[in-house]
Amino acid sequence: MNRYERGTRAPAVELVERIGAVLNLPVAYFYAVDEDEATLLRVFHRMTRKEKEKLLATLPGDPAKEKAHPNKDGLKSTS
């Protein structure tokens, strides 16, 4: 355990996946850079599909929104 804490050894991805499944957390949660990122990953992972779609639709640069709303020239955005 001490080697894990010091960072000289890392658990296999398969182990992290199993731990995540038990704790209802995505694998990315265990590799988050800071607490805010970890919180976002945890909360998003536990949302329903409908909640995720609603949240993603509010973000800037949402591809679904860009397809539905062409730019001022009447063309769909390519970004």
Q: What's the pTM?
A: 0.66
CATH class of the 2-68 domain in this structure: mainly alpha
d(CA 5, CA 45): 25
21-76 per-position pLDDT tens digit: 999 999 999 999 999 999 999 999 999 999 999 999 999 886 666 666 655 555 55
For residue 25, give every residue at least 6 positions away whose Cβ sits within 8 Å of its Cβ, in sequence order, or none. Answer: 19, 41, 42, 45
Per-residue DSSP letter, 29:
G
Nearest-10 Cα torsion for 12, 15, 16, 20: 170
What are the extents of the domains in the chain? 2-68
